[in-house]
Amino acid sequence: MTPDVAELERQHRELQLPAFDLDDAWRLGSLIVAEARQRGLAVTVDIQHGEQQVFHAALPGTSADNDDWIRRKAAVVRRFGEASYLVGERHRAKGRSFDLDPVRYAAHGGSFPLLVRGTGMVGTVTVSGLPQVEDHLLVTACLARHLTER
């Protein structure tokens, strides 16, 4: 199921963490990698805490192009404070193209803000390698699972 803007906004409200530290980054990143391996997906996974890259894994079948997509999708999240897919879908719903520099920004699914309740955004979690909806769904499903396992 392809999420609409209302569903993406619901995810933004609900997928918030009580806290997020480097151990959480390792657990979340490892969870995404394990899920991708189990499903045979060729993805690159990246987690940023502030400006620090705290987790990065490239699975077989990926390339440096995935790193570039991660950089550009995460830049959208840092600029707007919302999932890269939500930013892109809002533009598409209004019949507008996303017109920020495509060398720096990609409003495509796969990057999600790491939101801590009472604090705000502390980083990003990003996946690249699948069609944008699937990248987004992999991130949000694993983030939801991380919340329940915490």
Kindly report the pTM of this predicted structure. Answer: 0.95
pLDDT band at residue 99 under the 50/70/90 scheme: confident
Task: Report how far residue 48's alpha carbon sits from residue 103's, in angstroms, rounded to the nearest whole number.
Answer: 20
Q: What is the pLDDT of residues 27-68, one digit of tens each?
A: 999 999 999 999 999 999 999 999 999 999 999 999 999 999
E strands of the chain, at which residues? 16-17, 44-49, 52-58, 111-116, 120-128
**DSSP states along 89-127:** HHHHHTT----S-TTT----SSEEEEEETTTEEEEEEEE
* Dihedral angle over CA of 87, 93, 99, 105, nearest 10: 30
Domains of the chain (ranges; CATH) run: 5-149 (3.30.450.150)
